[in-house]
Structure 1
Amino acid sequence: MSTPSAKTASAGSKTKTSTTTTTVVKTTTTTTKAPQQKLATTLGAGAKVKKAKTTPSGKKAINAHSNRELGSNGLMRFSRGRMFRRRALYRIDKWKGAQAKLQGDKTKKTAGSIQKKKQRRSTLTKKPVGGDRNGKQRLVQTKRTPRYYPTEERQKKFSVKRKRFGDHPRRFRSTLTPGSVVILVAGKHAGKRAVVVKHLSSGLLLITGPHKVNGVPLRRINQIYVIGTSTKLDLSSVKTDDLDDKFFKRVRLAKKNAEKDIFDSKKEKTQLSDKRRQAQRDIDTAVLAAVKAHSDSRLLRRYLKSRFQLWNGVLPHKLKF
């Protein structure tokens, strides 16, 4: 009686273990398969479940098109160049697609016209060669490579939007009108007085002494080397159409041969032309007539002859010219 009871006990223990195993299997299958069935219903048939990309250490991988801050300082993880490199493929593909669309539109518009593509020239051309044993033909480069290459690249000329000096607007002081008497500050005739004849297009003043009175010839001068005075003459009748910057252009002398003229140390002076001398006479007569017509003609003539001087106790900033 002892043996069957033991068998039955062992059999009972076996059945218990089998039940426990089956329950474990059921629980595992239900926990793993249930979310997959839900995803399949939501995404649809044939859809794949995307898993989040992770690094070998287990951290979540950063997207190639995203950039993150390293901390609260505002510093980004990747630089501008690095991010441009990461996004370049996407931009290039987008640009290619846009170009393809544009080409498609062009072909639609010009469907009736025949578009001939430019034929590319081949790099090698056949050239006939004389002689029976030379093969009759030879391949030659259409565009030969240069023998020598430049050591330095050519400098690029940058376009400048500044105006030339000739195009600059000319501005003259209000005290330097034609006919006003001025005092020369610098140069060969410094301290002498002269009369303004004309405003030139180069921004210079055309002045004269006149030459008969104080020896100042008809010449051009910058307005910064001149002090304007309140005395004025009426030169409205004087004709100065021919007197411009080209009229006063210097004539360059021919260069001497250094071997022949070793002992010739004298420098040749440029002599005034007859045209220049005649212009000087005409302007002098017109200015002297204006001086004579002035109310204080005698005093004005003496004023033009005298030099400007400063004595002790005379303050230049308090003078009224």
Structure 2
Amino acid sequence: MTVTKSPRYYPAEDIKPAKNTYRVKQNPPRIRKSITPGTVLILLAGRFRGKRVVCLKALESGLILVSGPYKINGVPLRRVNQAYVIATSTNVDVSKVDVSSFTDAYFARSKDSSTEGENEFFMGDAPKPAVVNDQRKADQKKVDDALLKSVASAPMMEAYLAAQFTLTTHDKPHTMQF
């Protein structure tokens, strides 16, 4: 029978034990195998639900960069969560579209717009809606020009992208192949 000697120092109750310095490293988000650059996707939620868009690339945050093209169906360059899209088997050649300059920082909101206090809100006029700046318009035009050339080369692709996706009463989505 061994007797253990008690320590001479007892910490105070308010001292927190040292935390383990081990940090879990986050793995980059995985994109579904069916979603590749050039795949035509169907948006399921948001302002543009039911629209068919072209996937341009996967961003570092796990979101997908898509475009309508804007001239065909009114969907601008935007980021979309892959949970809210259906990937179709239709593909468009996007090798000539330069999307290297588009990152998550490109879509971040500017921090220079200060929030007004409550008094200024009630005293002033109604807030003005956000206006798309000229840089975004130029980027949209540049991407659309390259994308429209590849869309025009495929027969019926422009009409396919312009068509709205809907389901009727007797459609069974679980049996459909997109």
Q: Is it true that 1:306 corresponds to 2:163 in the alignment?
A: yes
Q: Which has the higher helix share?
A: 1
Q: Which sections of structure 1, spanning at least 5 residues, go unmatched?
A: 1-64, 66-85, 93-151
Q: How far is 1:156 from its partner?
A: 5.3
- The equivalent residue for 1:88 is 4
- Identical counterparts, % of pairs: 35
1:287 to 143, 147, 153: 147
Deviations along 1:40-99, one digit per CA (max 9) or x if unpaired, are: xxxxxxxxxxxxxxxxxxxxxxxxx2xxxxxxxxxxxxxxxxxxxx6125x99xxxxxxx
Residue in structure 1 matched with residue 132 of structure 2 by the alignment: 272
Structure 1 vs Structure 2 CA RMSD: 2.3
Give the partner amino acid of 1:313: H
CA–CA distance in 2 between the matches of 1:212 and 1:153? 64
**Equivalent of residue 207 in structure 1, options 54, 58, 66:** 66
AA in 1 matched with 2:147: V
The normalised TM-score by structure 1 is 0.49
Tell me the distance in 2 between the aligned counterparts of 1:154 and 1:272.
54
* Length, aligned pairs only: 172
> Match for residue 10 of structure 2?
none
Separation of aligned partners in 1, 2:132 and 2:38: 25
Q: Gapped runs of 5+ residues in structure 2?
A: 8-12
CA-CA distance at 1:178 after TM superposition: 0.2
The residue aligned with 1:163 is 24
> Residues 88 and 225 from structure 1, CA distance in 2 versus in 1: closer, same or farther, beyond 3 angstroms?
same
Structure 2-normalised TM-score?
A: 0.86
Give the secondary structure class of the aligned counterpart of 1:227.
strand
Choose which of 65, 86, 92 in structure 2 pairs with 1:233.
92
Deviations 1:168-218 (A, max 9, x none): 223111211001100001111111110001111111100000111111110
Q: How many angstroms does 1:307 deviate by?
A: 0.8
Counterpart code for 1:262: F
Alpha-carbon distance in structure 1 between the residues aligned to 2:152 and 2:37: 17
2:89 is paired with a residue whose SS is: strand
